[in-house]
Amino acid sequence: MAQHKQSQGGLTEFVKTIVYAGLIAVGIHTFFLEPFYIPSGSMVPTLLVGDYLVVNKFAYGYSRFSLPFAPDWFAGRIFGGVPKRGAVVVFRPPGAPNEDFIKRVVGLPGDTVQVTGGQLYINGKIVPRVDAGDYVDTSSGAPVVARDYTESLPGGVVHSILKLTNAPENDGGVDPNNTPLYTVPAGDLFMMGDNRDNSEDSRFMDGPVGYVPIENVVGPAELIFFSIDLKHPFWEIWEWPFEIRWGRMFHTIR
């Protein structure tokens, strides 16, 4: 009988340990850190398809979009903060609130943003960039040769962008290289992808993104913790070690 009770006690402790571990994992995922996978090439060359990121969920406080399934329990942000210009953030776009997008914050509340002749202007001033040579983008399948530029945003963030020689128009007829003058409303952000001619972002007001309320921001992308280039079929396990991008692992995101 004593042995039977001891077995029951051991099982109870095991179940409690599993439950506690699950609650801790859910708490970390909900309030602190969340993994995020890059499925598209809109942020190339900063982020590649197959990158796995850590998103800091407490950097700007919490909104309903910080919680699983974004329940409509409250409005605004608790312990709120405004992302800095140049931050790479995960957010829920107004036109697709159940999806996660990742872009760079280009315009803050009150800023004017415009692209003219493929060149970005913020508050009426050209954003300087330096030609860094050719870049072969394979994020959409077939290799595409683009131009790599090092762009310096107001406030000091320096990062890479890609530009095509002949950029296609958006499906709605918007020219991504010659946009209207946008004035970012109070409480909103203007987002752009680093792959400037392959990004659905705030330049296209009829699309899912448009101006993004600060409330919709989940958090900044902080770290690439894993990256893999899945060029071969999953069953070719002998190719796995060669598809891991070892040099991208544990890199901070700028």
pLDDT in tens, 53-74: 999 988 888 777 776 656 676 6
C-alpha 188 chain-centroid distance: 17
- Given 57, 63, 66, 103, which residue is catalytic? 103
pTM, full prediction: 0.82
Pairing outcome for strands 217-227 and 51-56 = antiparallel
Q: What's residue 73's pLDDT?
A: 66
- Given 42, 199, 202, 227, which residue is catalytic? 42
Name the nearest CA neighbour of 218 among 41, 74, 52, 88: 88
Q: What's residue 216's pLDDT?
A: 93
Active site residue 103: yes
Q: Please name each of the domains of the chain with its CATH number.
A: 32-113+181-252 (2.10.109.10)
Which residues in the chain come in under a pLDDT of 70? 1-33, 67-71, 73-75, 166-173, 234
Q: What's residue 14's pLDDT?
A: 42
